[in-house]
Amino acid sequence: MESRRNVKLQSAMEYLTTYAWAILILVIVLGALFYMHLFSPQGVQECLLPANFNCLEYNLYQNGTLLLNLQQATPYQINITSVGCEYTESFSKMQAAVPQVSMQIQSNHTFFVQCYGQNGSAIVLSPGDEYTGYIEVNYTDLQTGFPHTSAGRIMTKAV
């Protein structure tokens, strides 16, 4: 009798273990698919910058101009010296902020920046065209006087 019960328990444990592994694999696969944004047919739109800045608003226009409302999150007042938007991380076409934009802690400012494509020329898009590139913000910490660079990615559609 004892042997028969052991066989049933072993069978039940094998059953539960098999289904637990199957469910775990399914959860991992679904997580990977969500991570790759395969379940968002309209495309992902995001502006990712390091902790020093937040993208409060961003719109990319058909002529390649990016409206970028940045909030500064550094612990000191800063001066924005230039902002760039390019397909690669080379940032050879930074646009100087003339005059330099002074930003208090947690303040925000709207910049209009020309974005550049793979070939290095200004982009021209149709409504709904997707653009993925890099944003770079150069600034000076007014407390120390030291220059800094903060870079991130942008993925958006033209409006």
Q: Count up the domains in the chain and report the number.
A: 2
CA–CA dist 64, 158 (Å, integer): 8
The conformation of residue 154, written as its DSSP 8-state character, comes to: E
Q: What angle do CA 98, 77, 57 make, to 5 degrees?
A: 65
pLDDT band at 1 (very low <50, low <70, confident <90, very high): low
The reported pLDDT for the residue numbered 40 is: 54
Sign of CA dihedral 144, 145, 146, 152: positive
As a whole number, mean pLDDT of residues 11-33 equals 85
- Are residues 124 and 64 both part of a single domain? yes
For residue 75, the domain's CATH number is 2.60.40
Kindly give, in sequence order, each residue whose CB lies less than 8 Å from that of residue 69, ignoring residues fewer than 6 positions away. 55, 56, 57, 58, 108, 109, 110, 111
Q: What is the pTM of this model?
A: 0.68
CA–CA dist 93, 133 (Å, integer): 13
Distance, C-alpha 101 to centroid of its chain: 24
For 71-123, the pLDDT digits (tens) are 999 899 999 999 989 988 776 777 777 788 999 999 999 999 999 988 888 89
- Are residues 11 and 53 both part of a single domain? no
- Are residues 11 and 89 both part of a single domain? no
Q: In this structure, what are the phi and psi dihedrals at residue 135, rounded to the nearest 5 degrees?
A: -115, 140
The helix (H) or strand (E) run that includes residue 3 is helix 2-35
For 30-73, the pLDDT digits (tens) are 888 777 766 655 556 889 998 889 999 999 999 999 999 999 99
Residue 22, domain extent: 1-39
